[in-house]
């Protein structure tokens, strides 16, 4: 195991060589070598240096360079620690009774991560390996959510490794005492930085300012105020019991005549510690984290009473303020709670954007607001975690994959976050075995801690009691937060566990695996093998990318992304035609055009030169390049520039798939020379044709580069290669190609393997990329093709109807008018005939006038702003009901408003409202026998500071009607409406292109 630690940490530390700054490389190498000397000659000193430094270091040093200093220092320590163990022939990790449980937990977590990695994308694909290469470099910020499972597992392993380093370094009571003081003093410095941040408002996080600009929330050296609050709450509880009740005077115990300890005085050191604890508590208050402050009060006031009830009376060993906490803390806590609830009830403060800490407290303890509102929507994420667990009960959705899972159906959330409950996070990400093992680890730790408390003497008890209280405070914050997802807090957690479970001077035998445990391991591995097999058979990847920067908007509001030196998209094939929007903004490329190469499945499709700042759209017909369900698109700019610390290649807009062509693509503007029409192609051009014979004839002229070297041209009919030519002369020649027998309609494609840009090659003033020149139109000849005629023809093009999200399933609805109600229709999605389904809304057409008005009342204004929710008692007969909501939304703070439909307080549907004009949204539900209360609530309200009124969403009306058939969730397929065909297609929230907007064909053939 020590060898694995050495190799693993060395693998990550090798990324020092990837840095560009030579001075930084030298500094980091000096730190690495210094850590080696410290570990070699004094492991305990190296450990003290690390536990003092890691809370003070910023999580990511964004301002000078992107570097995770915390992880670098830890891996340096781990590398030399493992090297020393191997050098002394200690090949195993330190023995401890927790080893079996930790091993089982890591096994289940690793299986969960493997399943998550293979379910979302191809683990051994080109794109995955490129992302893994970037993620391996610890000096880069990890921007890839696809690798979040792997990242989460590494953090978990690093935290447990720190536990083993702790129990190896702290082998005596004196060392534990010294390490505890270092932890406390480091936290004081973090608190001082936080207080200065509150006073001078420097480096406040933009997100928290935007959420509530009236309240300053500090984060000090941590990534957010809530993680800082978890850390400070842990330290406050630890230091209050460990150092605020000192039974010493001038460093020695004071004894009575009978030899019993006397605790009647405080030393100057103890008084100083009280002041320092107050500083840490003040910084905790400035985080305005209700979870952190609440956990601190519970651990300080309630924990001593619970331990007294369990037979551990701290009043025997503690004096001063802490003795008062032990004796009367529970009564004070209960009295304060009742007083706060009564005060909040009288004041009735309900604005979820308070402007002071007092208002935060009044809002939190107000019994007149719902629990979900008080928790700021956390219950929604808790329910989503439970839903994920129901779908993935054994191994979960994958460690670190919770946020990604919420972006997709059926768990769609507009703002996916973590579960805000670490226990539910484990349940949803790692499954029931993972949660059971994690709880078993905690129970064992608490057992060891209580056992150590019972055996402690008068001098050790305050420290052990403080460590125990700090650990409890940390775990309490896990019920509304996710601290163990962060590396720093992994070190805090396992750093506190180490001293609690160490028994200095005693051997701690490691229990062997029992037969029951071995059977459990074999069962887990067997189930994992079957799960991996089924996942490999059913996995789908809508898109998998590498090399793009974050999405942004141009001056016209168009979404786009910059590429780096190269960008790759591995996509599901959603049609035959791929559309790419590109824009060149590199000033050097505009002065002298530079090439942008487009590859599909490693074959060069086009070589572009963009000489203007305008958006250009390029379309490619690609069935001859599709070797399966997926296509790999690679965009390689010839040059790039660095205007803002990013390497920028070319701007890429939305990628879109189309299933059919109506006009030629891949050609420049149609030209006229006398009476003839001519096209210049680019690297690839495609022409939709209807022909009456078996031959296509045209005239062809090669581009000017043919004078230096022959040019190869390939010809295709649909996905079949029909001709290959070597062009050697720049003169017109007649070309005839045959098409497959019996085919009348199809796509004729010409690929030119080398284009030329005359202006760039100094062959003329033409700045276009030229392939070959064709006479137009193409002529059809040969023996006529006899085919059956289509009597009805095709229907009109699709019109986007809206977006429906029934029961958390996001769909894009596309509607088609029916030309003949007597025709038996077929609907095709990318050439696949969709199976017909019964009509959904045919019984509740507006023409029938059978809608029941629910909201607003008669005589109300034409539209109503909804502040929080609409609650109406609706008397409908039990059975299938269709509800229609007519609403519009205003995007605020970059969010689309989302409505939640509830019946008797049970959510039955969740609906995003993305349009700023009136649209109808339908919900098909089953009305219960005893149900009468309908609630429409907006789960992402955006409040004004004073009026606290939702300005996201406006409702015109809500109506309902009984349906004749069982309610159905909208699924991919079609529903025949009066006069329309409605298509519902799942919308992948991570797609970089507009999915399936015009990727349908409908015919009666």
Question: Tokens 């051009």 map to which residue?
Answer: 685
Give tens-digit pLDDT for 109-167. 999 998 888 876 667 677 777 777 776 767 665 556 678 888 889 999 999 999 999 99
**Mean pLDDT, all residues of the chain:** 78
* Residue 325 pLDDT exceeds 50: yes
What is the arithmetic mean of pLDDT over 735-764? 85
Q: Under DSSP, is residue 744 helix (H, G, I), strand (E, B) or coil? A: coil
In this prediction, residues 360-380 reach a mean pLDDT of: 84
Between the ranges 299-303, 489-493, 629-633, 881-885, where is the mean pLDDT highest? 489-493
Q: CA 98 to CA 453: how far, in whole Å?
A: 18
Confidence of residue 539 (pLDDT cuts 50, 70, 90): low
The two three-digit tokens of residue 756, written as one number: 């030329």
Q: Which of 558, 548, 557 is nearest to 646 (CA)?
A: 548
- H or E element, residue 920: strand 919-927
Q: How far is CA 374 from the centre of its chain?
A: 25
Instruction: Please give the pLDDT value at position 250.
Output: 36
Q: Which pLDDT band holds residue 846 (cuts at 50, 70, 90)?
A: very low
**Predicted local distance difference test score (pLDDT) of residue 440:** 95
Does residue 64 carry a pLDDT above 70? no
HSE-CB of 269 using CA atoms within 13 angstroms:
11
Query: What phi-psi label fits residue 637: left (phi over 0), alpha (psi between -120 and 50 degrees) or beta?
Result: beta
**Model pLDDT for residues 916-945, shown as the tens digit of each residue:** 777 777 777 778 877 778 888 777 665 443
The CB-side HSE value for 982 (13 A sphere, CA atoms) comes to 22
- Give the per-residue pLDDT at 592: 78
pLDDT score of 868 more than 80: no
Tell me if residue 902 falls in helix, strand or coil.
strand
How many angstroms separate the CA atoms of 771 and 123, rounded?
38
User: Which residues partner with 983 through β-bridges?
Assistant: 814, 974
What pLDDT sits at residue 253? 46
Q: Which residue has the higher pLDDT, 788 or 272?
A: 272
> Could you tell me if 909 and 808 are in contact, meaning their C-beta atoms sit under 8 angstroms apart?
yes
Provide the pLDDT confidence category of residue 266 given band limits of 50, 70 and 90: low
3-state secondary structure 77-91: HHHHHHHHHHHCCCC
pLDDT, average across residues 451-462: 84
Q: State mean pLDDT over 901-909.
A: 78
Q: For the chain, how many helices (H) and strands (E)?
A: 24, 38
What's the confidence (pLDDT) of residue 984? 43
| Contact in structure between 826 and 836 (CB atoms under 8 Å) | no
Cis preceding linkage at 777, omega within 30: yes
Q: Which residue has the higher pLDDT, 895 or 132?
A: 132
**pLDDT tier for residue 885 given thresholds of 50, 70 and 90:** confident
How far apart are alpha carbons 906 and 849 in whole angstroms?
29
Q: Give per-residue pLDDT as tens, 305-322.
A: 888 888 888 777 777 677
pLDDT at residue number 284: 96
Q: Higher-confidence residue: 328 or 475?
A: 475
Helix (H, G, I), strand (E, B) or coil at 602: coil
Between 90-94, 826-830, 974-978, the lowest mean confidence (pLDDT) is in 974-978
Report yes or no: 959 and 884 within 8 Å, Cβ to Cβ: yes
| Per-residue pLDDT, 187 | 97
Lowest-confidence segment of 255-269, 530-544, 770-784 by average pLDDT: 255-269
What average pLDDT does the segment 266-272 reach?
74
By the 8 A CB rule, do 394 and 402 touch? no
Percent of the chain with pLDDT over 90: 27
Residue 1005's pLDDT is what?
31
**pLDDT over threshold 50, residue 248:** no
**pLDDT beyond 70 at 904:** yes
Is 70 exceeded by the pLDDT of residue 296?
yes
Q: What is the CA radius of gyration of the chain?
A: 34
Distances from the Cα of 535 to the Cαs of 529, 532, 598, 652, 829, in angstroms?
10, 5, 32, 32, 25
Closest among 596, 610, 533 to 566, alpha carbons compared: 596
pLDDT in tens, 218-241: 999 998 999 999 999 999 999 999
The 8-class DSSP code of residue 314 comes to G
Give residue 974's pLDDT.
Answer: 31
Which residues touch 261 (CB under 8 Å, ≥6 apart)?
247, 253, 254, 255, 458
Give the C-alpha separation, 362 to 343, whole Å. 8
Show Cβ contacts of residue 273 under 8 Å, excluding neighbours closer than 6 positions: 184, 239, 243, 244, 246
Q: Per-residue DSSP letters for 619-647?
A: EEE-GGG--SSEEEEEEEES--B-SSSS-
Question: For 866-886, b where at least 16 C-beta lie within 10 A, e where not — what string?
Answer: bebbbeeebebeeebbbbbbe
The pLDDT assigned to 472 comes to 96
pLDDT confidence of residue 317: 77
- Rounded to whole angstroms, how far apart are CA atoms 396 and 112? 6
Per-residue pLDDT, averaged over 827-851, amounts to 44
> Where does residue 742 rank: exposed (0-12), middle (13-18), buried (19+ CB within 10 A)?
exposed
| Cα distances (Å, whole numbers) of residue 792 to 353, 789, 829, 836 | 60, 9, 19, 20
Query: Residue 798 has what pLDDT?
Result: 36
pLDDT above 70 covers a percentage of the chain that reads 78
CB 979 within 8 A of CB 817: yes
State yes or no: pLDDT of 947 exceeds 70. Answer: no
- Residue in 690, 670, 687 with CA at minimum distance from that of residue 679: 670
Q: Report the alpha-carbon distance of residue 924 to residue 138 in Å, rounded.
A: 49
Q: What are phi and psi of 806, to 5 degrees?
A: -90, 125
Instruction: Give the span between the Cα atoms of 378 and 355, in whole angstroms.
Output: 21
- Which pTM does this prediction carry? 0.73
Q: CB count, 10 Å around CB of 848?
A: 11
Q: Is the dihedral of CA 930, 932, 933, 936 positive or negative?
A: positive
Confidence of residue 76 (pLDDT cuts 50, 70, 90): very high
Which string of b and e fits 325-363 if b means at least 16 CB within 10 Å?
Answer: bbbebbeebeeeeeeeeeebeeeebeebbbeeeebbbbb
Top pLDDT among 636 and 922 is at: 636
Distances (CA, A) of 643 to 495, 551, 666, 873: 43, 17, 32, 59
18 vs 110, more confident: 110
Separation CA 926–CA 962 (nearest Å): 10
- What pLDDT does residue 971 have? 34
At 384-429, the pLDDT tens digits run 889 889 888 888 888 888 887 776 655 555 466 788 899 999 999 9
pLDDT at 673 over 60: yes
Which has the closest alpha carbon to 1001: 525, 659, 623, 578? Answer: 659
The β-bridge relationship of strands 745-752 and 799-806 is unpaired
- Supply the pLDDT for residue 988: 43
First to last CA, the chain: 67
Q: What is the rounded distance in angstroms from the CA atom of residue 330 to the CA atom of residue 873?
A: 44
Please give the structure tokens belonging to residue 399.
């460690």
Paired sense of beta strands 779-781 and 733-738, if any: unpaired
Burial class for 204, CB neighbours closer than 10 Å (0-12, 13-18, 19+): middle
Residue 234 has what pLDDT? Answer: 97
**Rounded CA gap, 564 and 566, in Å?**
5
Reported residue count of the chain is: 1005
Q: Is the pLDDT of residue 764 over 70?
A: yes
SS3 for 671-737, per residue? EEECCEEEEEEEEEEEEEEECCCCEEEEEEEECHHHHCCCEEEEEEECCEEEEEEEECCCCCEEEEE
CA distance 58 to 276: 22
**Sign of torsion, CA 523 524 525 527?**
positive
Rounded CA separation 544/634 (Å): 12
Dihedral angle sign, alpha carbons of residues 262, 264, 267, 272? positive
Give the position of tokens 């005629």. Answer: 789
| CA–CA separation, 349 and 360 (whole Å) | 9
Q: Which residue has the higher pLDDT, 342 or 506?
A: 342
Verify cis geometry, omega within 30 degrees of 0, for the bond prior to 856: yes
Local structure of 414: helix, strand or coil: coil
Q: With contact defined as beta carbons under 8 Å apart, do 295 and 232 qualify?
A: no
569 forms bridges with which residues in the sheet?
Answer: 545, 633
Alpha helices in 137-172 (DSSP H): 148-169
Helix (H, G, I), strand (E, B) or coil at 599: strand
Q: Is the pLDDT of residue 590 over 80?
A: no
Please write the tens of the pLDDT for every residue from 326-357.
Answer: 778 788 888 889 999 999 989 988 887 888 88
Q: How far apart (Å, rounded) are the C-alpha atoms in residues 202 and 592? A: 44
């Amino acid at each position: 195991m020590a060898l694995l630690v050495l190799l693993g940490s060395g693998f990550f530390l090798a990324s020092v060589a990837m840095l560009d700054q030579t001075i930084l490389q030298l500094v980091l190498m000096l730190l690495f070598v210094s850590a080696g000397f410290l570990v070699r000659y004094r492991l305990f000193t190296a450990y003290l240096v690390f536990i003092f430094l890691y809370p003070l270091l910023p999580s990511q040093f964004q301002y000078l360079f992107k570097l995770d200093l915390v992880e670098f220092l830890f891996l340096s320590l781990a590398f030399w620690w493992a090297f020393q163990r191997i050098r002394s022939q200690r090949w195993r990790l330190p023995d401890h009774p927790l080893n079996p449980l930790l091993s089982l937990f890591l096994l289940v977590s690793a299986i969960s991560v493997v399943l998550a990695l293979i379910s979302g994308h191809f683990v051994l694909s080109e794109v995955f390996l490129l992302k893994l290469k970037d993620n391996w470099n610890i000096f880069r910020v990890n921007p890839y959510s696809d690798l979040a499972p792997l990242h989460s597992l590494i953090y978990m392993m690093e935290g447990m490794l720190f536990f083993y380093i702790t129990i190896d370094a702290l082998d005596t009571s004196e060392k534990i005492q010294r390490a505890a003081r270092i932890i406390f003093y480091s936290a004081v410095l973090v608190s001082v930085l936080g207080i200065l941040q509150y006073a001078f408002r420097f480096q406040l996080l933009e997100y928290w300012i935007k959420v509530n600009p009236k309240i300053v929330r500090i984060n000090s050296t941590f990534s957010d105020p809530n993680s800082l609050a978890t850390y400070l709450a842990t330290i406050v509880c630890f230091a209050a019991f460990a150092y605020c009740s000192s039974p010493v005077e001038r460093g020695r115990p004071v004894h009575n005549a009978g030899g019993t300890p006397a605790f009647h005085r405080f030393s100057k050191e103890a008084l100083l510690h009280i002041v320092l604890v107050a500083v840490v508590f003040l910084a905790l208050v400035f985080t305005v984290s209700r979870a952190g402050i609440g956990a601190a009060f519970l651990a300080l006031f309630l924990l001593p009473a619970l331990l007294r009830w369990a037979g551990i009376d701290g009043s025997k060993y503690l004096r001063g303020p802490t003795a008062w906490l032990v004796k009367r803390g529970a009564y004070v806590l209960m009295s304060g709670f009742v007083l706060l609830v009564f005060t909040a009830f009288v004041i009735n403060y309900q604005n979820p954007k308070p402007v002071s800490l007092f208002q935060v407290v009044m809002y939190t303890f107000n019994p007149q607001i719902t629990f979900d509102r008080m928790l700021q929507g956390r219950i929604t994420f808790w329910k989503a975690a439970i839903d994920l667990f129901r779908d993935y009960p054994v191994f979960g959705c994958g460690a670190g994959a919770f946020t990604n899972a919420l972006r997709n159906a059926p768990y769609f959330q507009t703002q996916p976050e973590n579960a805000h409950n670490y226990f539910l996070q484990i349940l949803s990400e790692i499954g029931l075995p993972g949660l059971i093992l994690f709880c078993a680890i905690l129970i064992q730790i608490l057992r060891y801690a209580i056992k150590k408390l019972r055996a402690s003497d008068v001098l050790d008890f305050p420290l052990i009691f403080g460590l125990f209280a700090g650990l409890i405070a940390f775990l309490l914050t896990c019920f509304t937060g996710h601290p163990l997802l962060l590396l720093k807090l992994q070190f805090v957690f396992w750093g506190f566990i180490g001293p609690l479970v160490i028994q200095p001077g005693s051997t701690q035998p490691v229990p062997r695996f029992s037969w029951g445990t071995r059977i459990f391991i074999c069962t887990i591995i067997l189930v994992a093998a079957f799960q991996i097999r089924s996942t490999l058979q059913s996995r789908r990847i809508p898109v998998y990318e590498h090399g793009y920067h974050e999405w942004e908007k141009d001056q016209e509001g168009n979404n786009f992304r910059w590429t780096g030196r190269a960008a790759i998209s591995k996509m599901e094939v959603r049609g035959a035609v791929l559309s790419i929007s590109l824009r060149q903004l590199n000033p050097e490329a505009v002065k002298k055009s530079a090439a942008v190469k487009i590859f599909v499945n490693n074959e060069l499709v086009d070589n572009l030169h963009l000489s203007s700042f305008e958006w250009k759209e390029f379309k490619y017909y690609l069935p001859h390049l599709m070797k399966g369900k997926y296509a790999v698109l690679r965009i390689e700019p010839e040059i790039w520039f660095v205007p803002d610390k990013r390497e920028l290649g070319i701007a890429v807009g939305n990628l879109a798939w189309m299933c059919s062509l109506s006009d030629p693509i891949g050609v420049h503007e149609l030209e006229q020379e006398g009476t003839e029409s001519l096209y210049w192609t680019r690297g690839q051009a495609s022409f939709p044709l209807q022909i009456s014979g078996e031959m296509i004839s045209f005239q062809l002229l090669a581009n000017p580069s043919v004078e230096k070297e022959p040019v190869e041209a390939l010809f295709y009919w649909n996905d079949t290669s029909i001709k290959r030519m070597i062009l050697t002369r720049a003169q017109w020649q007649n070309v005839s190609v045959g098409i497959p027998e019996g085919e009348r309609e199809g796509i004729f494609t010409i690929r030119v393997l080398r284009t030329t840009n005359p202006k760039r090659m100094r062959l003329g003033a033409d700045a276009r990329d030229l392939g070959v020149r064709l006479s137009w139109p193409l002529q059809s000849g040969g023996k006529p093709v006899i085919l059956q005629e289509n009597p009805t023809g095709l229907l009109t093009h699709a019109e986007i109807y809206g977006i429906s999200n029934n029961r958390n399933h996001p769909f894009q609805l596309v509607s088609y008018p029916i030309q003949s109600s007597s025709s038996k229709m077929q609907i095709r999605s990318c050439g696949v005939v969709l199976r017909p389904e019964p009509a959904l809304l045919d019984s509740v057409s507006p023409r029938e006038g059978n809608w029941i008005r629910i909201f607003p009342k008669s005589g109300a204004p034409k539209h109503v702003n909804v502040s929080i929710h609409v609650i109406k008692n609706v008397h409908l007969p039990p059975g299938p009901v269709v509800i229609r909501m007519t609403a519009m939304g205003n995007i605020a703070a970059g969010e689309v408003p989302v409505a939640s439909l509830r019946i008797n307080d049970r959510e039955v549907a969740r609906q995003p409202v993305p349009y700023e004009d009136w649209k109808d949204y339908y919900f098909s539900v089953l009305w219960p026998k005893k149900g009468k209360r309908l609630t429409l609530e907006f789960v992402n309200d955006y409040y004004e500071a004073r009026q606290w009124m939702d300005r996201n969403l406006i409702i015109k009306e809500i109506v309902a009607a009984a349906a004749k058939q069982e309610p159905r969730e909208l699924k991919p397929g079609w529903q025949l409406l009066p006069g329309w065909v409605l298509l519902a297609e799942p919308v992948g929230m991570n797609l970089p292109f507009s999915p399936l907007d015009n990727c349908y064909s409908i015919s009666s053939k």
